[in-house]
Structure 1
Amino acid sequence: MHQVRMLRAGAGDPAMMLAQFRLSAVLVPLWGDTAVWTADQRGLRWILAFSSEGELAAFVESKGLASDGCPYMTVLGSRLLDVAVPDLGVPGGIALDVAGKEPMLLPPVRGIVPDGVAVDRPELMGGTGSGGRVRG
């Protein structure tokens, strides 16, 4: 994704990158018949998504699997963030192109995922609606 490259170069706009992701069709590998492939790390669950078939193939090969044997679905980034992440049932986000040269994490924070599943909600941060900041 163009905006990811720009961010990595220090010239990108995070809001533009997020907007581009939300409007983009991404590939999500399936585990079994219907479950999306996820990875758990440090208490968060990451839905794996890929910007192209090449990025997906690189990931599958990195796992030692045959690239033709990995079923996937194509879905809009907005659908992943607004529907799939809340359906995880645990805090989670999106891991984009994890085996590629330009991986990007979209963490479960306000402004990226729905507020109700964000880990930086004021009630979780000890605040009382102060925008997630804890006053000292």
Structure 2
Amino acid sequence: MGEFRRSEVRVPVEDDSVVSVEAGGIRWLFAFTDDAALARFAEARGETLDERVLVYGAWLLDRVIPRVGGPVGIAVDAGSATGMALPPAAGIVPDSAVAVAVPVAVEGTGVRGAGA
């Protein structure tokens, strides 16, 4: 978690909103460690995702997730062999109002659950 918080990640944006999906009642934001991982993800989805913002992981966890409302996790390098999920669990997301109390299954998303 510390490494993610300190790392700059690329977050795809469309129509002035962070690209996300909802699965199982959880909103998943996408973050990528490099442009190549983002490009592979976009290609797999048949999209271009040309717009992105470069932010620190801490900004996503501390500023974005609490503002979304409801459980929100982060899919890091989704679709890649090294992808992982940061589920909306206590100890990962800072606000207990958006944390879930049980492990989150992330089946079919191409990412592995961190600690789940």
TM-score, with length taken from structure 1:
0.70
- The count of corresponding residues between Structure 1 and Structure 2 is 101
Matches of 1:83 and 1:110 in 2, distance apart?
16
Distance 1:94 1:35 in 2: 15
> Structure 1: 5+ residue runs without aligned partners?
1-17, 122-136
- 4+ runs of 1 displaced by more than 3 Å? none
**Which residue, out of 27, 31, 45, partners 2:14?**
31
Q: Residue 82 of structure 2 aligns with which residue? A: 102
The residue identity in structure 2 corresponding to 1:20 is E
Determine which structure has the larger helix proportion and give its number. 1
Other structure's SS at 2:65 match:
helix
Max radius of gyration: which structure? Answer: 1
The corresponding residue for 1:11 is: none
Show structure 2 runs of 5+ residues with no match. Answer: 103-116
Aligned to 1:4: none
Match of 2:31 in 1: 49
Q: CA deviation at 1:116?
A: 3.2
Higher strand share: 2
